[in-house]
């Protein structure tokens, strides 16, 4: 045991310097508490919440020789045995930059017999530990705990800790939780400690890679001192931290010597299934989606059986895709127009306790035949249970369109985006709706990246990947060569279109390409759509024979009236080009759809395209309105600052002059306002 006088000198001489260096980025001087002990390279950060640090100091007290991680050199050139990232260091750009640039070197360091320790991190900046080899995985969640239980009690990192009433790491400072952003899912790693007695919510995992180890933790065992070097933890808690890191010193030595315990991965229990979701459905085919929650390595092959009331059935096989977050996409063909089908999705091998995924859908009416379709639409949706989704079902909607901010992701981290999409679709009310009707979607700023973000957003590849993983549109933008993407692969944008009976919807992507180059409409200005999307839109509009054509965008088609730039008034030259094209080509039946502004509005711009052009704005589906965005306009016909609202769009070609009726409805069923137009009024010849 280090006596108090030595501890005081060590902290004042080495600890304060380490604390200062953690904040400023200066080098931490090498100082061996135990000459000849293992060497550790440390990167730590005094986060704004706890304002605490101390990793370098507790490692010294535990017998390590400590140096600052040299950010200019790869992991394999650090000349150390342990690389340790302190709690919440991922809030520091030095961490994200280093692990991004040197991910392969960190893997090589471990493969060569080194140990990498990653303590508690913020899930919004790195839910998935970004540098782990592909065979391993650990994803953090928002869950925080004040309890820790031994799971692998015999493991040297756990056995060193005193157990009090079945728990370890007790008696820590009330303001610094012992586990933050606890691990929610993992792959091929051994669980050593958990935050619940039942073994859920791991807070320390061990993964083997080559001769070395990765340790992923949500523990804050390093958060011991303030910037002045004073202890923020009770004496017993500080002793626990030193005990853990002392055991870590011995463990690092055993890893180097090849005598560390074998890593036998802890199987992750099945996760609750997400879905099924009915995606794109046309006259003769359907695309079905699900995330069953089972291990993709064990339950790779799946069977989907689709049945009609007539007795007809078909069976389709599909594979669970680890590359798409263990999701399943089933394409069913050979269907009959205007027909209801039920479906069942099961694994091909027996999965004890797994309930079959079931749902239903109705194929689109035949194009050109008289029909009546009832389509729901909405934007800015809640990620908590909400009766609005049940109201959509009760109103008789046969399909639904998500117009963006559905859900709110607000992160460029892939694991965060996937987690938020998963949580959104897992809501019981949404799940019931999505399993019973076709659902299509585009994105707006919050599911693309963050408020008012444009195409320069650094994380857009990740948010697109998550969007593609959790949607079942017929297509997702285009590939680098401009071809339309029907597969769930890396590409550009997420725009798509679909037809359901008398309505065709063109779901634009005004985010991915925005401000990434000159506009095709005005080379002196920045683009919004990008040239390939513009070419696609023109071709699709020309080819459309639908009576009614919705040109849909998450952002509104006029000026929001605030300081933000994510509206079509910012790109007026491209908006004008679109409308001029509709007018010049004499394309009938067009109207505009949008959301975003947390206000619902109906605007009539007069004969802008050769007939009256309407815009229907529907927002929000959640409970937060923004009254200031209900701005005056000479074109405004109706408006309401109304929470929990969706649009019910009924297109009816069974009458002599087909009608389009848009009704804004709240979750209680109250009609807010309504607009009805005939095909003649929307440019069709009588």
Which contacts qualify for 603-606: CB closer than 8 Å, 24 or more apart? Answer: 603/558, 603/633, 603/635, 603/636, 603/637, 604/635, 604/637, 605/635, 606/635
In 577-655, beta strands by DSSP E: 590-594, 600-604, 614-617, 636-640, 645-652
- What tens digit of pLDDT does each residue of 108-119 get? 999 999 999 999
Do the Cβ atoms of 120 and 88 come closer than 8 Å? yes
Whether residue 651 is predicted with pLDDT greater than 70 in this model: the reply is yes
Q: Per mean pLDDT, which range of 16-25, 73-82, 564-573 is the poorest?
A: 16-25
For residue 596, count CB atoms less than 10 angstroms from its CB and return exposed for 0-12, middle for 13-18, buried for 19 or more. Answer: buried
pTM of the complete model: 0.81
Q: How far apart are CA 434 and CA 423, in angstroms?
A: 14
Query: What contacts 395, CB < 8 A, 6 or more positions away?
Result: 374, 376, 648, 665, 669
Percent of the chain whose predicted confidence (pLDDT) is above 90:
84
The arithmetic mean of pLDDT across residues 572-590, rounded, is 98
Q: What's the mean per-residue pLDDT of the chain? A: 92
The arithmetic mean of pLDDT across residues 63-81, rounded, is 97
- What tens digit of pLDDT does each residue of 135-191 get? 999 999 888 999 999 999 999 999 999 999 999 999 998 888 999 989 988 989 999
- What tens digit of pLDDT does each residue of 619-648 get? 999 999 999 999 999 999 999 999 999 999
Whether residue 663 is predicted with pLDDT greater than 90 in this model: the reply is yes
Instruction: Give backbone dihedrals phi and psi of 386, rounded to 5 degrees, phi first.
Output: -155, 135
Do the Cβ atoms of 340 and 437 come closer than 8 Å? no
Q: For the beta carbon of residue 401, count every other beta carbon within 10 angstroms.
A: 27
pLDDT at 33: 38
Confidence of residue 214 (pLDDT cuts 50, 70, 90): very high
Residue 434: closest CA among 469, 474, 396, 389: 389
Three-state DSSP at 159 gives helix
- What tens digit of pLDDT does each residue of 302-346 get? 999 999 999 999 999 999 998 899 999 999 999 999 999 999 999
Instruction: Look up residue 642 and give its two tokens.
Output: 């109304």
Q: How far apart are CA 474 and CA 485, in angstroms?
A: 9
Query: What contacts 111, CB < 8 A, 6 or more positions away?
Result: 209, 210, 211, 212
- What tens digit of pLDDT does each residue of 389-416 get? 999 999 999 999 999 999 999 999 898 8
pLDDT at 35: 59
Do the Cβ atoms of 405 and 554 come closer than 8 Å? yes
Q: How far apart are CA 532 and CA 685, in angstroms?
A: 32
- What tens digit of pLDDT does each residue of 323-333 get? 899 999 999 99
């Amino acid at each position: 045991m280090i006596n108090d006088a030595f501890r005081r000198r060590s902290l004042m001489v080495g600890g304060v310097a380490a604390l200062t260096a953690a904040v400023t980025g200066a080098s931490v001087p090498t100082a061996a508490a135990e000459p000849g002990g293992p060497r550790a390279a440390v990167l730590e950060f005094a986060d704004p919440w706890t304002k605490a640090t101390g990793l370098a100091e507790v490692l010294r007290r535990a017998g390590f020789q400590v140096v600052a991680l040299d950010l200019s050199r790869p992991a394999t050139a650090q000349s150390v045995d342990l690389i340790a990232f302190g709690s919440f260091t991922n809030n520091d750009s030095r961490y994200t930059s280093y692990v991004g640039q040197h991910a392969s070197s960190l893997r090589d360091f471990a493969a060569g017999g080194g140990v990498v320790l990653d303590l508690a991190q913020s899930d919004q900046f790195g839910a998935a530990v970004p540098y782990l080899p592909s065979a391993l995985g650990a994803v953090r969640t928002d869950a925080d705990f004040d309890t820790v239980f031994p799971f692998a009690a015999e493991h040297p990192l756990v056995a060193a800790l005193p157990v009090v009433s079945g728990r370890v790491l007790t008696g820590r400072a009330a303001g610094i939780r012992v586990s933050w952003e606890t691990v929610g899912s993992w792959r091929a790693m051994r669980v050593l400690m958990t935050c619940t007695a039942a073994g859920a919510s791991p807070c320390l995992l061990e993964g083997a890679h080559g001769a070395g180890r990765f340790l992923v933790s949500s523990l804050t065992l390093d958060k011991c001192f303030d910037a002045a070097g004073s202890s923020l933890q009770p004496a017993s808690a500080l002793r626990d931290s030193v005990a853990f890191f002392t055991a870590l010193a011995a463990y690092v030595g055993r890893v180097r010597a090849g005598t560390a315990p074998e890593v036998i991965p802890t199987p992750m229990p099945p996760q609750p299934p997400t879905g099924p979701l009915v995606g794109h459905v046309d006259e003769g085919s359907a695309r079905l989606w699900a995330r069953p929650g089972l291990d993709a390595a064990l339950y790779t092959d799946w069977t989907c059986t689709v049945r009609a009331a007539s007795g007809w059935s078909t069976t389709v096989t599909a594979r669970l895709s680890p590359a798409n977050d263990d999701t399943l996409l089933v394409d069913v063909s050979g269907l009959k127009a205007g027909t209801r089908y039920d479906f069942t999705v099961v694994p091909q091998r027996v999965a004890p306790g797994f309930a079959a995924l079931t749902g239903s859908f109705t194929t689109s009416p035949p194009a050109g035949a008289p029909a009546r379709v009832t389509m729901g639409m909405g934007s800015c949706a809640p990620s908590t249970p909400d009766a609005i989704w049940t109201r959509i079902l009760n109103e008789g909607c046969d399909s639904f369109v998500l117009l963006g901010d559905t859900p709110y992701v607000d992160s460029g981290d892939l694991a965060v985006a996937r987690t938020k999409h998963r949580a959104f679709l897992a809501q019981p009310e949404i799940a019931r709706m999505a399993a019973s009707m076709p659902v299509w979607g585009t994105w707006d700023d919050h599911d693309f990246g963050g408020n008012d973000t444009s195409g320069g957003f650094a994380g857009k590849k990740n948010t697109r990947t998550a969007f593609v993983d959790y949607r079942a549109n017929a297509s997702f933008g285009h590939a680098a060569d401009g071809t339309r993407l029907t597969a769930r692969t890396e590409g550009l944008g997420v725009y798509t279109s679909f037809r359901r009976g008398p309505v065709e919807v063109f779901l634009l992507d005004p985010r991915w390409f925005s401000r990434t180059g000159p506009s095709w409409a005005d080379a002196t200005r920045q683009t919004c759509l990008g040239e390939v999307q513009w070419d696609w839109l023109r071709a699709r509009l020309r080819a459309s024979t639908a009576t009614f054509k919705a040109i849909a965008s998450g952002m509104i088609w006029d000026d929001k009236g605030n300081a933000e730039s994510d509206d079509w008034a910012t790109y007026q030259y491209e908006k004008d080009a679109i409308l001029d094209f509709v007018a010049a080509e004499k394309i009938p039946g067009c109207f505009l759809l949008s959301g975003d502004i947390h206000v619902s509005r109906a605007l009539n711009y007069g004969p802008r395209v050769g007939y009256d052009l309407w815009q229907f704005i529907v927002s929000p589906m959640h409970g937060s309105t923004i009254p200031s965005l209900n701005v005056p306009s000479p074109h405004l016909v109706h408006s309401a600052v109304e929470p929990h609202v969706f649009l019910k769009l009924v297109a009816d070609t069974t009458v002599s002059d087909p009608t389009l009726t848009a009704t804004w409805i709240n979750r209680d069923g109250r009609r807010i306002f309504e607009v009805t137009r005939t095909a003649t009024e929307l440019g069709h010849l009588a």
